Amino acid sequence: MSDFTPYAVSVEDMMRARDERVHAQNEMLAAAASFPAPTALLSFGMNIPGAVKQTPLIRSGFLFGKERLTALLHREDYALLRTRELRRVSGDSWLCLVGAPPEAVKRLAVALEDSEPLARLFDIDVLNCEGQKLSREDFFLPPRRCLLCEEAAVVCARSRAHSVDALFSRCDSLLREAFPLSASFFSALENHAALSLLDEVYAAPKPGLVDRIDSGAHADMKFEDFILSTAAITPFLREMAVTAYQTCFSLPDAARETDAALFSRLREIGKRAESEMYAATGGVNTHKGAVFTLGLLSAGAGLLYAKSGKLSAETILDEVQNLVGDTLRQELADLKAGEVGKAHGEAVLHRDGTGGVRSAAAKGFPVLRSVALPLLRQYEAEERPAEASVLNVLLHLILHVSDTNVLYRGGKDALLTLRADCRNILSHGGAFTPEGTDLLYELKETCKQRNVSPGGAADLLSAALFLHRLEKTFR
């Protein structure tokens, strides 16, 4: 099982990063000639001692500093003429060509560097249009202070007064204090995935699905299987998030991994997750669909967190659509043109033309955007009971999802009948009312008799709960 392992940069890496940054600065300075004077080039990065320059914590500090700088420039009504960000394992850089006098921009940068302890990690250079770097001494400003003592930082650096470990430990403490969630991002994501899967299976009564009451229309499954399966697969969801996160950072001059290549790697992780699921459950397929859906969402969250340090459900879905859309659309076209495979979804694709979870993922799971997430937010704002909210969201999902599990077991008539039953239950208030709950119990028994189970809607319910938790924690 792989987890986030920080890259230790070499001296050669740092030299290449410096050369790349200087080259980017020169390109910016050349572009300055096309704008009215005065202009200044601002170059921002993190001043982190040691060989590790890129972690979620360090990235959060960088994004915070970039945000603070942008806000200060806007406050002064300075035009941001051109910007460029270099996301590198050797450390991030943000370049900004500013429509303002270099001296004014330098004073602004110094004020930020001296404003708070965390800002002492900011490394902000300001260059004039000739490429000359402005220094504090140019303005008779005091030098920057050491992180560990009150001496001038340059004096301590030259004398090596403090060990690299001591300096890095101080940086780490400042970052953890400022961004406590960033230090545990991947652990929190794994926990949110587990809780979402458990909330789905626990909620009862559900039509045809395994819940804490019984096995629904699944004679081969029991509630305990889902508990074991959840513990087995969630570490792999974390691994997918880590894998996607790390693709956002490269060494200078290294080509970024293509979306297709990343998707292929995620699928290999998914296969290992399925193997662990079957081992934990004695061969029962409890969460194969959830591995695919929540795996993609975990990867989307990793990509988005690397880029912005924040999560919103809709933007995660955008990342997923961008990552897998082209590949899955081609796969669906190939499947339609080929022979019927063994998978239930492929049989339904040929018989009914329904693309199932592949089609949903290629479109960025539109039913999560338009139905499940708005309802979860609404019910939470209305302080509705949590379990009843989960059940009502499931009923709404059944109304909007062409569930391949239902279609495979009973065809279109079974799906239309199930939707009519769910619509009737919701007209009585669903799980929010005693009448609606009684009807849910009745539908639970009916689905067992019909051998109908909306497993696709259940996977999407887990996905919605997962996204809702992520955005509340990391928005």
- The 3-state secondary structure of 75-133 reads HCCCEEEEEEEECECCCCEEEEEEECCHHHHHHHHHHHHCCCCHHHHEEEEEECCCCCE
% of the chain surpassing 90 pLDDT: 84
Q: What are the pLDDT digits (tens) for 4-62?
A: 788 999 999 999 999 999 999 999 999 999 999 999 999 999 999 999 999 999 999 99
| C-alpha distances in Å from residue 132, one per residue of 43, 129, 448 | 12, 7, 77
Separation of alpha carbons 190 and 234, rounded Å: 6
Q: Would you say the pTM of this structure is higher than 0.75?
A: yes
Angstrom CA distances, 420 to 113, 183, 390, 415, stand at 63, 47, 19, 9
pLDDT of residue 293: 98
462 closest CA partner among 198, 189, 223: 198
What pLDDT was estimated at residue 414? Answer: 94
pLDDT of residue 194: 98
What is the side-by-side strand order in the sheet with 79-86?
79-86, 93-99, 40-46, 122-127
pLDDT the model gives residue 251: 87
Sequence letter at residue 192: H
Which DSSP helix (H) or strand (E) runs through 418? helix 404-427
Rounded Cα–Cα distance for residues 98 and 41 (Å): 6
pLDDT at position 355 is 62
For residue 359, CA distances in Å to 356, 368, 459 come to 6, 13, 15
Residue 309 DSSP label: S
**Tens digits of residue pLDDT in 57-99:** 999 999 999 999 999 999 999 999 999 999 999 999 999 999 9
pLDDT tens readout for residues 215-244: 999 999 999 999 999 999 999 999 999 999
Q: Which of 408, 296, 418 is nearest to 345 (CA)?
A: 408
In this predicted structure, what is the pLDDT of residue 340? 55
- Is residue 277 classed as helix, strand or coil in its secondary structure? helix
Report residue 43 CA to chain centroid gap. 27
SS3 label, residue 139: helix
Residue 239, classified by CB atoms within 10 Å of its CB into exposed (0-12), middle (13-18) or buried (19+), is buried
pLDDT beyond 60 at 1: no
Q: What is the dihedral of CA 323, 230, 201, 302, to 10 degrees?
A: -30
- In the chain, % helix, strand, coil (3-state, to 5) comes to 65, 5, 25
Q: Which residue has the tokens 């002064």?
A: 76
Please state, for a pLDDT cut of 70, what percent of the chain lies above it.
96
Residue 439 pLDDT > 60, yes or no?
A: yes
What confidence tier does 469 reach under pLDDT thresholds 50, 70, 90? very high
- Of 173 and 352, the structure prediction assigns the larger pLDDT to 173
**pLDDT greater than 90 at residue 122:** yes
At 268-282, the pLDDT tens digits run 999 999 999 999 999
What pLDDT does 353 receive?
A: 58
Q: Is 114 a residue whose pLDDT tops 60?
A: yes
The whole-chain average pLDDT of the chain stands at 94
Report how far apart, in Å, the C-alpha atoms of 152 and of each of 142, 146, 157, 271, 410 are: 9, 6, 9, 55, 76
Angstrom distance (rounded) from CA 199 to CA 191: 12
Q: Is 374 exposed, middle or buried (0-12, 13-18, 19+ CB in 10 A)?
A: middle
DSSP per-residue letters across 27-65 = HHHHHGGGSPSP-EEEEEEE---SSB---HHHHHHHHHH
CA gap 46, 122 in Å, rounded: 5
pLDDT at 143 over 60: yes
One-character DSSP codes across 167-222: HHHHHHHHHHHH-TTGGGHHHHHHHHHHHHHHHHHH--S-SSS--SS--TT-TT--
- Bond into 38 cis (ω within 30): yes
* pLDDT score of 252 more than 60: yes
pLDDT at 167: 93
pLDDT in tens, 328-355: 999 988 888 766 555 666 666 656 556 6
Spatial separation of the C-alpha atoms in residues 155 and 22, rounded to whole Å: 26
| Residue given tokens 């959060």 in the structure block | 60
**pLDDT surpasses 60 at 130:** yes
Higher pLDDT, 355 or 375: 375
In whole angstroms, how far apart are CA 206 and each of 320, 444, 461? 29, 6, 12
For residue range 397-429, what is the model confidence (pLDDT) as tens digits? 999 999 888 998 889 999 999 999 999 999 999
